[in-house]
Each structure stands twice: as C-alpha cells, then as structure tokens.
Structure 1
Amino acid sequence: MEQPSCIREFSRYTVLSVLGTLGVSCYILADTFFVSKGLGTSGLAALNIAIPVYNFIHGTGLMIGMGGATKFSVCKSQGNQMLVDKIYTNTIYLAVLFSIAFMLPGFFCPRQLAFVLGADMTILEMTAVYLRWLLLFSPAFILNDVLLCFVRNDANPQLAMCAMLIGSFFNVIMDYIFIFPLHMGIFGAVFATGISPVISILMMTLHWMKNRNSFHFAGRGICMKVVQWDLSLGFPSLIAQISSGIVMITNSECNARLQTIAVTGLKLYFISTPFVGYNIILATFFTSIERAFPAHILSLLRGLILIIPTAFILSSLWKMTGVWFAYPVTEISAALLGFVIYKNGKKRTACH
C-alpha cells in the first residue's frame, strides 16, 4: 500500500507544480505579446533588455525559497519545530535584505543600469521606466517565490498552484487593460507584472487563515547557519534562472530569413529536451537530500562552464548550426556527468 501512496503523492506534487509553472509561462508570453502589439519594437526591445534583471530577481527568490523550504521539509519530518520556525524566520530576513539590495538601484540609477544593459538613446527612457518599477516591485517577486516554496512543501501544493495561476491570469488581464484601454504604455506593462505576485501572496494567506501552516515567524536574530543552508541548497535555482539569459523574440516585423533560421534552429535546440528534464530532476534530487555540492556542479556546468566554450567551439566549426547545437551538447554532457556522480554516490552509500 505504501508504494502506490508514494506514487500518488509524487504525481500530485508534480502535476500541480507543472500547471503552476505553465501559468507563469503563459503570462510571460502574454506580456511579450501585448507589449509588442501596443508599444511596437521599441517596447519589445526595452522588455528584452529587462529580462535578465527579472531572471536575477526571480532566481534570487527561488534560491532563498528553495533553500529554506528544502531544509524546512527535513526539519519538519524530524519534528524539530523550533528549527522549523528559525529557518522560516531567517528566510524572510534574507528576502528582506535582498529586496532592499534590488530596490536601491531602482530608486537611484535605473537609467545607468539600462545603459549598461545595452539600451540605446531611442529606448533608454522606456527601459529605465521598466527597470525602475521592476526593481521596486522586487520585494513582491521575492516574497512570493519564498512563500510558494514553503506553502508547497507544507503539504499544500494545490494552494501554491492556484496562487500562481490566479496571479498569472490577473497579469494577462491587467496587461491588456493597462496597455490598450488605459494607454499607460511601458509603465502599464511593468505595473501589471508587479501586481501579479501581490495577488498570489494574498491568495496564499488562506494557508494561515485556515491554520494549515506548520511554520511561524519567530522574532529572533539572524542565524548564519540557516543563511548558509538557504544559500547553499538554493544556489542551483539561481544559476538555472540566470543561465536562461536573454530570450530572442521575433514579432510581426521580422523577416522571412530570420523565421527560417529560427525554425531550423529550434528543431536542433529541442533535441536537448529529455536531457534538460533529467538534469533538472537530478539537481533537484541532490538539493532535496541536502547534497548541495553535486547540485552546484550540475547547475554551473549547464549554466556557465560548459555552454560558453561549447558555443565558441561549435560556432567556429559549423557557424550558426554550431551555435544551435551548443545547448544540446551541453545538456547531454552534463547529463552524463550527473549520471556518473549519482552512481558513485550510490556505491559509496552501499559501502557504508
């Protein structure tokens, strides 16, 4: 009876997490579509320049949330309530500190940041507006990521999924309203994006209202050991977000040759799909059993160490085709190494 129960529980968490993630992906696509239709190529260019900053904010929230929620799950299963509360409290402290760090450039230097990221004079102001409000909304993004991880791991994946989907749905609706009927421009687009995690957070308050939460805020000082756990266990999530990089988007003004290149390239790119899935699952598995080092190795290999030299080498051999092949080659190489690490770990465990 235990095995079917485990499979059922695993399926429940997996399906709900996938549905929530698909909802987020849909609102990102909707954001891109409405900006391109309402603001043209200039708005789309400004959005693309801001994407790495959003990835970094979202990655930071996931790093803190995944790291804290993983350790929280372990301590909860051990019945250590004092440590559970300490982990949650210190994770919130970290979220506040990182939020302040992101808000400061939003207040003081969004134009300089836009310029550094590559905005030229034609889109500098538009990009600066988007970046300013994106950074000022960082507390909402980060806190939402943290709470989603804790609520999901606190035996409530349904609520976490609903919060993600409803937040995403409202973002799509508000995107349309702010950009078209209200003519709020690029500010409307970023304002809709910033409101989305706020709605998601409000949804998750049901977890406390129904007294389902097993973690509580305890007003104690910062514990560096917990901070170390959060950052170490959650670091692969940060790398995964940063390595996604800047997405190249075609709109209605693209030319036929670019479309042909994209179609051909995507066929090569998607060879990597099964290996990407395997690598993500393996890195998450290592994190969940508190083996942070192999999770770090896999994430760094995929996100930084392998992809850059591979892209240079293959592009010099096969030009654009080599660039498209770089991602599948990187993921396949990382998958093979991850399999070796996993097998060696099992052998060591068997010997002990």
Structure 2
Amino acid sequence: MKTSLLKDFSKYVSLNVLGMLGLSCYILADTYFTSARLGTSGLAALNIAISIYSVIHATGLMLGIGGATKYSIFQSQDHPSQANRIFTTTVLLGLAFGTAFVLIGITASSSIAWLLGARGTILEMTATYLKTILCFAPCFLLNQIFLAFVRNDHAPRLAMTGMIVGSLSNIVLDYLFMFPLNMGIFGAAFATGLAPIISMLTLSRHRIAKKNHFHFQKINFSFFNAVSLLGLGSSAFINEISSGIVLIVFNLLILQAAGNTGVAAYGIVANLALVALAIFTGIAQGVQPLVSRLYGRGKSQESHTILRYSILVSLFLGVLLYLAVFFFTEPLVSIFNSENDPVLADLAFEGLRVYFIGFLFVGVSIVSSAYLAATERPRPSFAISIVRGAVAILILAVTLSSLWGIHGIWLAFPSAELITVLLSILLIRPAIGKKACE
C-alpha cells in the first residue's frame, strides 16, 4: 500500500510543481521583458501592480481548491449529483467575482495605483497594467477553477500541461508585444491576460475526450454550499494573497527607505520569491486530491503518510532552494538589472540572501494548512494562513523596518515564516492524533 501511495504522491506532486512553476512564469516573464524594455521605472511600476494580480490569483485558488476539495470528497463517497452541484456553484461564483474585478478595473485602476504608491510616470504605467489585468480577471478565475477540477478528476498531467502551455504562450506573446510591436507595459499585461485563455483551450481536451466526470447541473443556488467551499479554499486564498499583502506593505515601506530603486530591487526579490512559492503551492495542490479522496473513504493513516511525505519533500526543497539562491545571487540579480545600476544590484543582492531564508520554513506551513483544509478542518487551516499571510508579516515588517530600515524589511519575511511554522506544528499534531484515534 505504501508503494502505491508513494507512486501516487510522486506523480501528483511532481506534475503540479512543474505546472505551478509554469504558472508562476506569467509574472516572471513580464518582469524580465519589462526590465529589458522599460528599465527601472517599468520594473517599479510592474512590482506595484503585481499585488493586485496576487489578489486575483488568490481568489481563483480559493474557488478552485475549495470547490474541488468538496467535489473530490463527494465523488469518493459516490455522490455524483452533489459533486456536480458543487462544480456548478464554483463556476457561478467565479463569474460573479470576475465581474466585480472587471468593474473595479474599468472604474478605479488609477485610484488603486495611486493608493499603492505609484507616482509620476510610474502612476500611468501601473494604472495601465492594472486595468488590463483586472479586465481579464474572469479568465484567470475560470482557469484556476478548471485546473483544480481537472486535477481532482484524475487528470493531473493535463492540468500540468494546461499551466505550462499558458505560461509558454505568455513568454512568446510578451516578447512579441513588447519588442516587435512596441506595445509597452500594456503589451506585458495583454500577454498575461491571454495566457489563461490558451490554458483553458488546452484543458478542454478533458471534456472533448469525454473523460470528465464533472458537469453543469441546474441548481437552486445554495448559500451554504458557497460558504462551505469558500471556507475550504480560504487557506489557499490567504496563502496566495499574502504575496500581495507583502508586496503592498513592503513597497510602501521600501519607498520611504530607498525610493524607486529600492522598489525595483524588491521587484527582483519578490518575483523570484513568487516562483519559489509556486514550488510549495504545487506540493500542496498535488497532495490535496489524494488527501481529500483518502479522507472521504475514511483512510486516515494513509492520509497521514501523504502528509509526512509532503513535509519531508518541502524541507528538502527549501534547503536546496536557499543554497541555489545563495551561490547564484549575482547572476540572478543581473538578469533583471538591464541598466547595470550598482545601487539596485547591491539592494537586490542583500534582499535575496536574507529574504530567502524564509523558504526553509514556508513549505511546512503551506502543506500543513492544505492538509487541514483537505480534511475539512478549515479553522486551524485558516489560522495558519492568516498568521503567515497577514498578522506576523505585517507586524514584523513595520517593527523591523523602524529599527533597521531596509535591512529589517528583508528580515521580516523569514522571521514571520519561523513563527508560522511553530504554530503549524502545534495545530497539525492534535489533528493527526485525533484522526489516529478514530
């Protein structure tokens, strides 16, 4: 049985880590091409705007993972009608949230850019990127929903393919729109907005091949089902939106401490951090279908085994990731420093080496939170996520920046992650012990 579990774990996790790495390259490609074409100002504008993309992405994850978790549990219990009702409810919620984002983008992009700290020429570029991304929000949300349901419908390879195809198309379109067509920062945002559409076209193979078990079903909208799936997806939402919260707070603090060059330096750190975070999010998304399926069938010991595998892999990858960043800091910074700005290089160099210490701990917290949500324990899952994504990082960023300036800002992330991993250990142990006694 353990051999079979390890095989399933390896398959789902490896495919989803690769897929999430591909998905994270949406913004990384924008960062590279924007820095190459528009320099420090473009990089600063993009870094300010990315926080709103994180909100959209977090909402998609909340809907997708929350809905797919309920779907997988119902399917494992042989309740297909209830599973289809959850799928339909999830899509309707995605359309509702997407419409709200579009309206915000049309009416308030400039105001949001100003509130996020953009000024002067950076204000116009930030507002352009925000408006474009927000108008494509329904596509981002639906793509996340379909990715999660396809993954939970025994097709993790297709989900990975959809993510990677979308990401590769974004890279190609970024180059095309920003260089030959000279469309500026709008081109970067437009390329990113088209990527989820291409991803969904790839995922449509699941339906065309008649392999899908989820279908639209006429429903009377259930407020209880909506709240239930949003609750199960809340930890994924907080885990992802924490990137946006950190971006907003850090940008405002760094603007005071080091100006636009400091924001551009943080742009390098933050975008590489998004890629690193995608690895651990991929592990969490990979184990979710397995844990939910085992939970639905009452196989608690097997789900604990999956949790142990996840934690061990997260710790190993955290060490490997930090060593890679430590030994290759200078070349990583130079990729995004097209103007060879020495101040930018020094700030980003220190930032990467200090900030990435947090990735020694982050995997354990994200996996623990995902496990609790996948076994219908939203409260402790949410507690881990809210401490990690908001409470600890906000308090530490403000406190440490007042003591040590930008050096304290870099230190805030690893300090918050250390606190969160200690909380995760406290909350996950009783949940495992209780299940083991049942």
Give TM-score scaled by structure 1 length.
Answer: 0.94
Which residue identity lines up with residue 382 of structure 2 in the other structure?
H
Task: State yes or no: 1:274 paired with 2:273.
Answer: no
Q: 2:369 aligns with which of 268, 274, 283?
A: 283
Task: State yes or no: 1:64 paired with 2:150.
Answer: no
Corresponding residue for residue 116 of structure 1: 115
Which residue identity lines up with residue 227 of structure 1 in the other structure?
A
Partners of 1:270 and 1:124 lie apart in 2 by 29
Partners of 1:270 and 1:119 lie apart in 2 by 26
Q: Which moved more, 1:93-102 or 1:32-41?
A: 32-41
Which residue identity lines up with residue 270 of structure 1 in the other structure?
F
Sort the Cα spacing of 1:40 and 1:318 in 2 relative to 1 into closer, same or farther, 3 A. closer
Partners of 1:121 and 1:132 lie apart in 2 by 17
Sort the Cα spacing of 1:317 and 1:133 in 2 relative to 1 into closer, same or farther, 3 A. closer
User: 1:123 is paired with a residue of what secondary structure?
Assistant: helix
The offset of 1:24, in angstroms, is 2.0
Corresponding residue for residue 294 of structure 1: 380
Q: Which moved more, 1:324-333 or 1:190-199?
A: 324-333
User: Which of the pair is proportionally richer in helix?
Assistant: 2
The offset of 1:238, in angstroms, is 1.5
Task: State yes or no: 1:5 paired with 2:91.
Answer: no
Contact 2:84 2:214 in 1 (8 A): yes
Contact 2:88 2:215 in 1 (8 A): yes
Sort the Cα spacing of 1:118 and 1:257 in 2 relative to 1 into closer, same or farther, 3 A. closer
Which residue identity lines up with residue 275 of structure 1 in the other structure?
F
Task: State yes or no: 1:189 paired with 2:188.
Answer: yes
Corresponding residue for residue 219 of structure 1: 218
The offset of 1:244, in angstroms, is 1.1
Q: Which moved more, 1:39-48 or 1:63-72?
A: 39-48
Which residue identity lines up with residue 342 of structure 1 in the other structure?
I
Which residue identity lines up with residue 429 of structure 2 in the other structure?
K
Corresponding residue for residue 20 of structure 1: 19
Which residue identity lines up with residue 120 of structure 1 in the other structure?
R
Partners of 1:318 and 1:39 lie apart in 2 by 31
Q: Which moved more, 1:321-330 or 1:31-40?
A: 321-330
Give the unaligned 5+ runs of structure 2: 248-265, 269-335
Which residue identity lines up with residue 323 of structure 1 in the other structure?
I
Which residue identity lines up with residue 326 of structure 1 in the other structure?
A
Partners of 2:364 and 2:54 lie apart in 1 by 22
Corresponding residue for residue 198 of structure 1: 197
Corresponding residue for residue 163 of structure 1: 162
Which residue identity lines up with residue 376 of structure 2 in the other structure?
E
Partners of 1:43 and 1:263 lie apart in 2 by 20
Sort the Cα spacing of 1:11 and 1:230 in 2 relative to 1 into closer, same or farther, 3 A. same
Q: 1:248-259 maps to which residues of 2 (within 5 A)?
A: 248-249=267-268, 251-253=337-339, 255-259=341-345
Which residue identity lines up with residue 278 of structure 1 in the other structure?
V
Q: Which moved more, 1:170-179 or 1:318-327?
A: 318-327
Sort the Cα spacing of 1:18 and 1:108 in 2 relative to 1 into closer, same or farther, 3 A. same
Query: Could you give the per-residue CA deviations for residues 291-336 of structure 1, whole angstroms, max 9, x where no partner exists?
Result: 1011100000111111222234444555544333322222122111
Partners of 1:260 and 1:159 lie apart in 2 by 42
Sort the Cα spacing of 1:192 and 1:213 in 2 relative to 1 into closer, same or farther, 3 A. same
Partners of 1:60 and 1:232 lie apart in 2 by 12
Q: 1:303-318 maps to which residues of 2 (within 5 A)?
A: 303-318=389-404
Corresponding residue for residue 139 of structure 1: 138
Sort the Cα spacing of 1:100 and 1:260 in 2 relative to 1 into closer, same or farther, 3 A. same
Sort the Cα spacing of 1:76 and 1:166 in 2 relative to 1 into closer, same or farther, 3 A. same
Sort the Cα spacing of 1:35 and 1:319 in 2 relative to 1 into closer, same or farther, 3 A. closer
The offset of 1:72, in angstroms, is 0.7
Which residue identity lines up with residue 99 of structure 2 in the other structure?
I
Partners of 1:317 and 1:339 lie apart in 2 by 30
Q: How many residues align?
A: 351
Corresponding residue for residue 241 of structure 2: 242
Partners of 1:328 and 1:294 lie apart in 2 by 22
Q: Which moved more, 1:282-291 or 1:305-314?
A: 305-314
Corresponding residue for residue 40 of structure 2: 41
User: 2:220 is paired with a residue of what secondary structure?
Assistant: coil
Corresponding residue for residue 86 of structure 1: 85
Partners of 2:399 and 2:122 lie apart in 1 by 34
Contact 1:93 1:222 in 2 (8 A): no
Which residue identity lines up with residue 183 of structure 1 in the other structure?
N
Give the unaligned 5+ runs of structure 1: none
User: 1:109 is paired with a residue of what secondary structure?
Assistant: helix
Which residue identity lines up with residue 105 of structure 2 in the other structure?
G
Sort the Cα spacing of 1:257 and 1:115 in 2 relative to 1 into closer, same or farther, 3 A. closer
The offset of 1:174, in angstroms, is 0.7
User: 2:267 is paired with a residue of what secondary structure?
Assistant: coil
Partners of 1:258 and 1:201 lie apart in 2 by 38
Q: Which moved more, 1:249-258 or 1:231-240?
A: 249-258
Give TM-score scaled by structure 2 length.
Answer: 0.76
Query: Could you give the per-residue CA deviations for residues 248-284 of structure 1, whole angstroms, max 9, x where no partner exists?
Result: 3363346434423432332222222231011111111
Corresponding residue for residue 417 of structure 2: 331
